[in-house]
Amino acid sequence: MLAKRIIPCLDVRNGMTVKGVNFVNIQEVGDAVELGAEYARQGADELVFLDITASHEGRKTFVELVKRIARNLNIPFTVGGGISELKDIEALLSAGADKVSINSAAIKKPDLIDQIAKNFGSQFVVVAIDAKEENNKWTAYINGGRIPTDKELFSWAKEAEQRGAGEILFTSMNHDGTKNGFACEALARMSESLSIPVIASGGAGTMEHFAEVFSKGKADAGLAASIFHYKEISVPQLKEYLRNKGVSVRI
Protein backbone atom coordinates (compact mmCIF):
# COMPACT_ATOMS: atom_id res chain seq x y z
CA MET A 1 0.00 0.00 0.00
CA LEU A 2 1.27 3.46 -0.89
CA ALA A 3 1.89 5.69 2.10
CA LYS A 4 -0.67 8.43 2.65
CA ARG A 5 0.77 11.93 2.34
CA ILE A 6 0.49 14.86 4.74
CA ILE A 7 0.74 18.18 2.90
CA PRO A 8 0.84 21.60 4.59
CA CYS A 9 -0.45 24.37 2.33
CA LEU A 10 0.86 27.92 2.15
CA ASP A 11 -1.85 30.22 0.80
CA VAL A 12 0.15 33.33 0.02
CA ARG A 13 -0.95 36.92 -0.58
CA ASN A 14 1.60 39.73 -0.94
CA GLY A 15 4.39 37.41 0.21
CA MET A 16 2.71 36.48 3.50
CA THR A 17 1.00 33.21 4.36
CA VAL A 18 -2.71 33.80 5.00
CA LYS A 19 -5.77 31.76 5.95
CA GLY A 20 -9.50 32.34 5.77
CA VAL A 21 -12.79 30.56 6.38
CA ASN A 22 -14.94 29.51 3.40
CA PHE A 23 -12.51 31.47 1.19
CA VAL A 24 -13.19 34.80 2.98
CA ASN A 25 -12.10 36.61 6.18
CA ILE A 26 -8.43 36.29 5.20
CA GLN A 27 -5.82 36.81 7.94
CA GLU A 28 -2.01 36.76 7.87
CA VAL A 29 -0.40 33.86 9.73
CA GLY A 30 3.33 34.06 9.00
CA ASP A 31 6.29 34.24 6.65
CA ALA A 32 6.05 31.78 3.75
CA VAL A 33 9.78 30.97 3.61
CA GLU A 34 10.05 30.30 7.34
CA LEU A 35 6.89 28.19 7.47
CA GLY A 36 7.92 26.12 4.45
CA ALA A 37 11.32 25.35 5.98
CA GLU A 38 9.70 24.41 9.29
CA TYR A 39 7.29 21.94 7.66
CA ALA A 40 10.15 20.31 5.77
CA ARG A 41 12.02 19.89 9.08
CA GLN A 42 8.92 18.39 10.69
CA GLY A 43 8.70 15.65 8.06
CA ALA A 44 5.86 16.84 5.84
CA ASP A 45 5.67 14.71 2.70
CA GLU A 46 5.14 17.64 0.35
CA LEU A 47 4.44 21.36 0.41
CA VAL A 48 1.87 23.29 -1.63
CA PHE A 49 2.25 27.02 -2.31
CA LEU A 50 -0.75 28.85 -3.75
CA ASP A 51 -0.68 32.52 -4.67
CA ILE A 52 -4.38 32.91 -3.92
CA THR A 53 -5.02 36.29 -5.54
CA ALA A 54 -2.83 35.94 -8.64
CA SER A 55 -5.62 34.81 -10.99
CA HIS A 56 -8.12 37.33 -9.62
CA GLU A 57 -5.62 40.18 -9.92
CA GLY A 58 -4.41 39.03 -13.33
CA ARG A 59 -0.73 38.70 -12.44
CA LYS A 60 1.87 35.96 -12.27
CA THR A 61 2.93 33.96 -9.23
CA PHE A 62 5.90 35.41 -7.35
CA VAL A 63 8.79 33.54 -8.98
CA GLU A 64 11.35 35.10 -6.62
CA LEU A 65 9.38 33.97 -3.58
CA VAL A 66 9.16 30.45 -5.04
CA LYS A 67 12.96 30.44 -5.36
CA ARG A 68 13.38 31.50 -1.73
CA ILE A 69 10.99 28.84 -0.46
CA ALA A 70 12.51 26.10 -2.65
CA ARG A 71 16.04 26.78 -1.34
CA ASN A 72 14.92 25.68 2.12
CA LEU A 73 13.10 22.49 1.09
CA ASN A 74 14.10 18.87 0.60
CA ILE A 75 10.55 17.66 -0.14
CA PRO A 76 8.38 17.90 -3.29
CA PHE A 77 7.03 21.40 -3.82
CA THR A 78 3.86 22.25 -5.77
CA VAL A 79 3.19 25.84 -6.87
CA GLY A 80 -0.02 27.39 -8.18
CA GLY A 81 -1.64 30.74 -8.85
CA GLY A 82 -1.69 32.91 -11.94
CA ILE A 83 -0.43 30.17 -14.28
CA SER A 84 -1.89 30.56 -17.77
CA GLU A 85 0.70 29.43 -20.31
CA LEU A 86 3.65 27.09 -20.80
CA LYS A 87 6.30 29.75 -20.16
CA ASP A 88 4.82 30.21 -16.67
CA ILE A 89 5.43 26.51 -16.04
CA GLU A 90 9.02 26.75 -17.26
CA ALA A 91 9.70 29.71 -14.99
CA LEU A 92 8.30 27.96 -11.92
CA LEU A 93 10.09 24.67 -12.54
CA SER A 94 13.32 26.62 -13.04
CA ALA A 95 12.65 28.42 -9.76
CA GLY A 96 12.51 25.11 -7.88
CA ALA A 97 8.91 23.88 -8.13
CA ASP A 98 8.51 20.12 -8.59
CA LYS A 99 4.89 20.34 -9.77
CA VAL A 100 2.47 23.06 -10.83
CA SER A 101 -1.14 23.41 -9.78
CA ILE A 102 -3.59 24.94 -12.24
CA ASN A 103 -7.17 25.82 -11.41
CA SER A 104 -8.78 28.84 -13.09
CA ALA A 105 -6.59 28.50 -16.20
CA ALA A 106 -7.48 24.82 -16.57
CA ILE A 107 -11.20 25.63 -16.64
CA LYS A 108 -10.77 28.59 -18.99
CA LYS A 109 -8.36 26.74 -21.31
CA PRO A 110 -8.71 22.97 -20.70
CA ASP A 111 -6.17 22.13 -23.41
CA LEU A 112 -3.52 23.73 -21.17
CA ILE A 113 -3.64 20.46 -19.18
CA ASP A 114 -2.87 18.52 -22.38
CA GLN A 115 -0.05 20.91 -23.26
CA ILE A 116 1.64 20.70 -19.86
CA ALA A 117 1.33 16.90 -19.77
CA LYS A 118 2.73 16.61 -23.29
CA ASN A 119 5.64 19.00 -22.72
CA PHE A 120 6.58 18.20 -19.11
CA GLY A 121 4.81 14.95 -18.18
CA SER A 122 1.63 14.21 -16.24
CA GLN A 123 3.61 13.93 -13.01
CA PHE A 124 4.09 17.72 -13.11
CA VAL A 125 0.39 18.57 -13.48
CA VAL A 126 -1.88 18.98 -10.46
CA VAL A 127 -5.37 20.18 -11.39
CA ALA A 128 -6.87 22.00 -8.43
CA ILE A 129 -10.65 22.22 -8.17
CA ASP A 130 -12.41 24.55 -5.75
CA ALA A 131 -16.03 23.42 -5.57
CA LYS A 132 -19.13 24.25 -3.59
CA GLU A 133 -22.12 22.00 -2.96
CA GLU A 134 -25.50 23.64 -3.43
CA ASN A 135 -28.80 21.78 -3.85
CA ASN A 136 -26.95 18.43 -3.98
CA LYS A 137 -24.77 19.57 -6.87
CA TRP A 138 -21.06 20.35 -6.72
CA THR A 139 -20.07 23.35 -8.85
CA ALA A 140 -16.46 24.30 -9.63
CA TYR A 141 -15.42 27.90 -8.99
CA ILE A 142 -12.54 30.00 -10.34
CA ASN A 143 -10.58 33.11 -9.29
CA GLY A 144 -10.02 31.97 -5.72
CA GLY A 145 -13.60 30.81 -5.20
CA ARG A 146 -15.14 34.05 -6.46
CA ILE A 147 -16.80 33.00 -9.72
CA PRO A 148 -19.00 29.91 -10.31
CA THR A 149 -18.56 28.03 -13.59
CA ASP A 150 -20.59 25.57 -15.63
CA LYS A 151 -18.24 22.75 -14.60
CA GLU A 152 -19.63 20.00 -12.38
CA LEU A 153 -17.02 18.67 -9.94
CA PHE A 154 -16.92 14.98 -10.81
CA SER A 155 -17.20 15.26 -14.58
CA TRP A 156 -14.56 18.01 -14.59
CA ALA A 157 -12.19 15.89 -12.49
CA LYS A 158 -12.63 13.01 -14.94
CA GLU A 159 -11.99 15.28 -17.93
CA ALA A 160 -8.85 16.65 -16.24
CA GLU A 161 -7.58 13.10 -15.74
CA GLN A 162 -8.28 12.21 -19.37
CA ARG A 163 -6.42 15.31 -20.52
CA GLY A 164 -3.29 14.30 -18.60
CA ALA A 165 -3.56 15.55 -15.03
CA GLY A 166 -1.35 13.58 -12.67
CA GLU A 167 -3.30 14.46 -9.52
CA ILE A 168 -6.49 16.24 -8.47
CA LEU A 169 -6.43 18.67 -5.54
CA PHE A 170 -10.06 19.03 -4.46
CA THR A 171 -10.96 21.79 -2.00
CA SER A 172 -14.49 21.81 -0.64
CA MET A 173 -15.47 25.46 -0.27
CA ASN A 174 -18.25 24.37 2.11
CA HIS A 175 -15.67 22.87 4.47
CA ASP A 176 -12.70 25.23 3.96
CA GLY A 177 -11.41 26.65 7.24
CA THR A 178 -14.34 25.31 9.27
CA LYS A 179 -12.26 22.58 10.98
CA ASN A 180 -15.34 20.34 10.95
CA GLY A 181 -13.83 17.60 8.80
CA PHE A 182 -13.25 16.93 5.11
CA ALA A 183 -15.93 16.32 2.45
CA CYS A 184 -15.42 12.56 2.77
CA GLU A 185 -18.47 11.46 0.79
CA ALA A 186 -17.53 13.56 -2.24
CA LEU A 187 -13.87 12.58 -1.91
CA ALA A 188 -14.72 8.87 -1.85
CA ARG A 189 -16.88 9.25 -4.95
CA MET A 190 -14.08 11.09 -6.72
CA SER A 191 -11.37 8.63 -5.65
CA GLU A 192 -13.46 5.69 -6.86
CA SER A 193 -14.07 7.29 -10.27
CA LEU A 194 -10.44 8.23 -10.98
CA SER A 195 -7.23 6.27 -11.39
CA ILE A 196 -4.97 9.19 -10.36
CA PRO A 197 -4.30 10.36 -6.78
CA VAL A 198 -6.75 12.68 -5.05
CA ILE A 199 -5.53 15.28 -2.54
CA ALA A 200 -8.19 16.27 0.00
CA SER A 201 -8.40 19.89 1.10
CA GLY A 202 -10.84 21.87 3.22
CA GLY A 203 -12.06 21.15 6.73
CA ALA A 204 -9.14 19.63 8.66
CA GLY A 205 -9.52 20.37 12.36
CA THR A 206 -8.43 17.26 14.26
CA MET A 207 -6.20 14.26 13.78
CA GLU A 208 -9.37 12.14 13.59
CA HIS A 209 -10.38 14.09 10.49
CA PHE A 210 -7.23 12.86 8.72
CA ALA A 211 -7.92 9.27 9.73
CA GLU A 212 -11.44 9.68 8.32
CA VAL A 213 -10.33 11.21 5.04
CA PHE A 214 -8.01 8.28 4.39
CA SER A 215 -10.53 5.61 5.38
CA LYS A 216 -13.98 6.98 4.51
CA GLY A 217 -12.79 9.57 2.01
CA LYS A 218 -10.31 7.21 0.30
CA ALA A 219 -8.00 10.16 -0.37
CA ASP A 220 -4.33 9.65 -1.21
CA ALA A 221 -3.19 12.78 0.60
CA GLY A 222 -4.54 15.19 3.18
CA LEU A 223 -3.79 18.89 2.85
CA ALA A 224 -4.27 21.44 5.60
CA ALA A 225 -3.22 24.94 6.52
CA SER A 226 -4.46 26.60 9.70
CA ILE A 227 -4.07 23.62 12.04
CA PHE A 228 -0.38 23.52 11.13
CA HIS A 229 0.16 27.30 10.93
CA TYR A 230 -1.36 27.87 14.38
CA LYS A 231 0.52 24.86 15.81
CA GLU A 232 -2.69 23.12 16.85
CA ILE A 233 -1.28 19.88 15.42
CA SER A 234 2.30 19.14 14.37
CA VAL A 235 3.19 16.93 11.42
CA PRO A 236 5.14 14.38 13.56
CA GLN A 237 2.28 14.20 16.08
CA LEU A 238 -0.25 13.62 13.30
CA LYS A 239 1.84 10.94 11.60
CA GLU A 240 2.36 9.08 14.86
CA TYR A 241 -1.40 9.16 15.49
CA LEU A 242 -2.17 7.88 11.99
CA ARG A 243 0.39 5.09 12.24
CA ASN A 244 -1.20 3.96 15.52
CA LYS A 245 -4.55 3.93 13.67
CA GLY A 246 -3.12 1.59 11.07
CA VAL A 247 -2.68 4.21 8.33
CA SER A 248 0.47 3.80 6.24
CA VAL A 249 2.55 6.98 6.56
CA ARG A 250 6.22 7.87 6.17
CA ILE A 251 7.73 8.58 9.59
CATH number at residue 151: 3.20.20.70
Residue 209 included in any domain: yes
Among 45, 88, 130, 176, the one annotated catalytic: 130
Q: How many domains does the chain have?
A: 1
Asked whether 168 and 129 are in contact (CB, 8 A), the reply is yes
Is 249 among the domain residues? no
Q: What is the DSSP letter of 124?
A: G
Q: Is 164 within 8 Å of 124 (Cβ atoms)?
A: no
pLDDT at residue 103 in the model: 93
pLDDT number for residue 24 = 46
Alpha helices in the chain (DSSP H): 32-42, 54-57, 63-71, 86-95, 104-108, 111-120, 153-163, 184-193, 207-215, 226-229, 235-244
Asked if residues 35 and 49 have their Cβ atoms less than 8 Å apart, the reply is no
CA nearest 70: which of 120, 30, 19, 10? Answer: 10
Strand partners, 240: none
Per DSSP, the three-state class of 249 is: strand
DSSP letter string, 142-177: ETTTTEEEEEEHHHHHHHHHHHT-SEEEEEETTTTT
**Catalytic residue, candidates 11, 45, 88, 220:** 11
φ/ψ of residue 50, rounded to 5: -125, 120
The yes-or-no answer on residue 11 being catalytic is: yes
CA distance 173 to 61: 22
Q: Is residue 44 part of a domain?
A: yes
Q: Quick check: 156 and 186 in contact, CB under 8 A?
A: no
Q: Print pLDDT tens along the chain (251 aa).
A: 689 999 999 888 766 676 555 444 455 657 888 989 999 999 999 999 988 665 444 445 578 889 999 999 999 999 998 788 999 999 999 999 999 999 999 999 999 999 999 999 999 999 999 999 999 999 999 987 889 999 999 999 999 999 999 999 999 999 988 899 999 999 999 999 999 999 999 999 999 999 999 999 999 999 998 899 889 999 999 999 999 999 999 99
Q: Is residue 250 part of a domain?
A: no
Of the candidates 3, 26, 24, the residue with the CA atom closest to the CA atom of residue 174? 24
Range of the domain at 53: 5-244
Helix (H, G, I), strand (E, B) or coil at 122: helix
